[in-house]
């Protein structure tokens, strides 16, 4: 490869609220990039969906159109996307309904109970590595069978965001093992293969299983007709991508046991590389990016979604809100937010939870509200890191990525609340940069020097005592209000 207009790699990522693409040269330099925003549909409480044609493929076309002047030099391409996601298609890969999104979609709560009883909670945890939660794919398969029998009768294939885009590019029906391992309980974690018992209970009949690959293995090549449509060279390799969080973790070089990627996005996501399998009821254990090792993962249902909601609600832009929040003292003058605006994933696994401000007074301004939102997410980060430590996998190094990590305020608050330093990489391009790195690896490029650390944020000890006390308010508040939040969820469903 060279960086002089030929020998580029392309990374594509399908996100919750936007998609991104980059062209990268062999030394890790971003030559060109593009971003396109899209809507996540919320047709009913607890339902979150994407249209694969109108969102995923439309985004791919728009992104590559923006990058078209450089596409002739692309030698390999890799795709990541949100997940675990359920997209059911016919035998030719044509979508039969919108894709059901990951853990923010809580429609299958009843089916979680049904499958846990059928398969057995202990058997599920041992085989798949995790209890069934709103993150799981199996209950959503059962939900479609129960509530949309016509769709189910025509379904022949199941895709996630990255695997469906790979299919459109190559015609291949594949899924990477990390994405499969996150799609509980369909994948047997230690065997690194599909779990037959889960498929019999969740997807009986004619739904076929994707061929499994490791992220970075060759899935196929770009078809000639698609190459003509998109401006890509025909026949270039398309690598098996993965879920966006794993691609983003690799974008900053997560490699060693104890390395933890903290992704500041629409949701907050954590991946820690571990040497052995981690067992904890409030966390997820998945395959790693490579065959050697496992990953311990966690995810909050909202983070950037809450700050965006506040932005839209107040009519202020992010710079104004951030400036106002920076003037508010740490602790938001006694205001604590439980940021469960779409339920919560780890470590409480409660889809019926909802957002609560504790301590509101007439003195509080929108700057207080915004800072308390940043702090509320930081308390959730601390809760998840504590769960990992309890499970015997204490994180040794935090790598901060994502749009929320590009500013100074939010990551500093997280370091202050958790008492842990964070490494900030030189580039915060996102998962698409990790895709490009995977593609470059497949071509034999040494990417070890890509994206070095530019800054280490240290916690400020003068704020620790205050945040320790407010963190206890955060933890106690949920426990005290849990039954009331569930009652409110039932009322909303009427």
Taking the C-alpha atoms of residue 348 and residue 367, their distance in angstroms, rounded to an integer, is 28
Confidence of residue 3 (pLDDT cuts 50, 70, 90): very low
Residue 240 · residue 215 · CB < 8 Å? yes
Q: Compute φ and ψ for 214, nearest 5 degrees.
A: -80, 150
Strands 18-24 and 8-14: antiparallel
Largest CA distance in the chain: 64
Percent of residues, the chain, with pLDDT higher than 90: 88
Higher pLDDT residue, 97 or 46? 97
Q: Is the peptide bond before 185 cis (omega within 30 degrees of 0)?
A: yes
pLDDT tens by residue, 109-122: 999 999 999 999 99
pLDDT at site 5? 40
pLDDT tens by residue, 133-189: 888 999 999 999 999 999 999 999 999 999 999 999 999 999 999 999 999 999 999
pLDDT tens by residue, 374-420: 999 999 999 999 999 999 999 999 999 888 888 899 999 999 999 99
Q: Compute φ and ψ for 269, nearest 5 degrees.
A: -130, 145
pLDDT at site 428? 82
Taking the C-alpha atoms of residue 342 and residue 338, their distance in angstroms, rounded to an integer, is 11
Using DSSP, state whether 480 is helix, strand or coil. helix
Average pLDDT over residues 342-353: 92
Inform me whether the pLDDT recorded for 1 exceeds 80.
Answer: no
Inform me whether the pLDDT recorded for 306 exceeds 70.
Answer: yes
| Mean pLDDT value across the chain | 95
pLDDT at site 419? 98
Residue 18 contacts by C-beta under 8 Å, 6 or more apart in sequence? 35, 36, 37, 38
Inform me whether the pLDDT recorded for 28 exceeds 80.
Answer: yes
Confidence of residue 35 (pLDDT cuts 50, 70, 90): very high
The mean-pLDDT minimum among 280-284, 387-391, 470-474 falls in 280-284
pLDDT at site 156? 98
- What pTM was computed for the model? 0.85
Confidence of residue 253 (pLDDT cuts 50, 70, 90): confident
Confidence of residue 2 (pLDDT cuts 50, 70, 90): very low
What count of other Cβ atoms lies within 10 Å of the Cβ of residue 329? Answer: 11
List 295's β-bridge partners, or say none: 273, 286
Six-digit token pair at 117? 């009883």
pLDDT at site 27? 95
pLDDT at site 49? 98
Using DSSP, state whether 359 is helix, strand or coil. coil
Residue 319 contacts by C-beta under 8 Å, 6 or more apart in sequence? none
CA 87 to chain centroid, in Å, comes to 16
The mean-pLDDT minimum among 14-23, 262-271, 313-322, 469-478 falls in 262-271
Average pLDDT over residues 327-343: 97
Q: Where are the alpha helices (DSSP H) in 327-449?
A: 366-390, 409-418, 431-442
Residue 188 · residue 102 · CB < 8 Å? no
Inform me whether the pLDDT recorded for 196 exceeds 80.
Answer: yes
Average pLDDT over residues 349-370: 96
pLDDT tens by residue, 417-455: 999 999 999 988 889 999 999 999 999 999 999 999 999
pLDDT at site 14? 97
Inform me whether the pLDDT recorded for 4 exceeds 60.
Answer: no
8-247 placed in CATH 3.30.420.40: yes
pLDDT at site 6? 46
């Amino acid at each position: 490869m060279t960086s002089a207009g030929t020998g580029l790699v392309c990374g594509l990522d399908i996100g919750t609220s936007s998609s991104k693409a980059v062209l990268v040269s062999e030394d890790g330099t971003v030559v060109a990039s593009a971003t396109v925003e899209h809507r996540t549909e919320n047709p009913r409480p607890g339902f979150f969906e994407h249209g694969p044609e109108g969102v995923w493929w439309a985004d791919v076309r728009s992104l590559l159109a923006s990058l078209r002047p450089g596409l002739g030099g692309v030698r390999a391409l890799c795709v990541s996307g949100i997940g675990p996601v359920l997209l059911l298609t016919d035998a030719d890969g044509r979508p039969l309904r919108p894709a059901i999104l990951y853990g923010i979609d809580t429609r299958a709560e009843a089916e979680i109970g049904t499958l846990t009883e059928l398969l057995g909670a202990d058997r599920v945890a041992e085989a798949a590595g995790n209890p069934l939660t709103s993150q799981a794919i199996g209950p959503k398969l059962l939900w479609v069978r129960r509530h949309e029998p016509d769709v189910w009768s025509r379904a022949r294939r199941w895709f996630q965001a990255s695997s469906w885009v790979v299919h459109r590019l190559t015609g291949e029906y594949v899924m990477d093992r990390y994405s499969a391992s996150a799609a509980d309980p369909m994948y047997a974690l230690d065997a690194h293969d599909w779990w037959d018992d889960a498929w019999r209970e969740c997807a009986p009949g004619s739904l076929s299983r994707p061929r499994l690959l490791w992220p970075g293995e060759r899935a196929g090549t770009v078809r000639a007709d698609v190459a003509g449509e998109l401006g890509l060279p025909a026949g270039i390799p398309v690598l098996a991508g993965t879920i966006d969080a794993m691609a983003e973790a690799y974008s900053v070089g997560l490699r060693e046991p104890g390395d933890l990627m903290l992704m500041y996005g629409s949701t907050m996501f954590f991946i820690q590389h571990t040497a052995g399998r981690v067992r904890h009821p409030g966390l997820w254990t998945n395959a790693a990016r490579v065959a050697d090792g496992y990953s311990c993962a966690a995810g909050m249902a909202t983070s950037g979604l809450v700050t965006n909601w506040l932005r839209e609600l107040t009519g202020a832009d992010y710079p104004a809100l951030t400036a106002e929040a920076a003037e508010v003292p740490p602790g938001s003058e006694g205001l604590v937010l439980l940021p469960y605006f779409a339920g919560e994933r780890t470590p409480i696994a409660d889809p019926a939870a909802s957002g609560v401000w504790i301590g509101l007074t007439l003195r509080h301004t929108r700057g207080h509200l915004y800072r308390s939102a940043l702090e509320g997410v930081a308390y959730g980060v601390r809760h998840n890191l504590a769960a990992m430590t309890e499970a015997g996998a204490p994180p040794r190094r935090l790598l901060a990525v994502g749009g929320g990590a590009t500013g100074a305020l939010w990551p500093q608050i997280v370091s202050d609340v958790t008492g842990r330093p964070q490494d900030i990489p030189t580039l915060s391009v996102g998962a698409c940069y990790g895709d490009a790195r995977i593609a470059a690896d497949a071509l034999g490029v040494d990417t070890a020097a890509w994206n070095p650390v530019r800054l280490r944020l240290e916690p400020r000890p003068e704020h620790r005592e205050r945040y320790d006390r407010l963190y206890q308010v955060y933890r106690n508040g949920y426990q005290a209000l849990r039954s009331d939040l569930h009652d409110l969820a039932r009322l909303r469903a009427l």
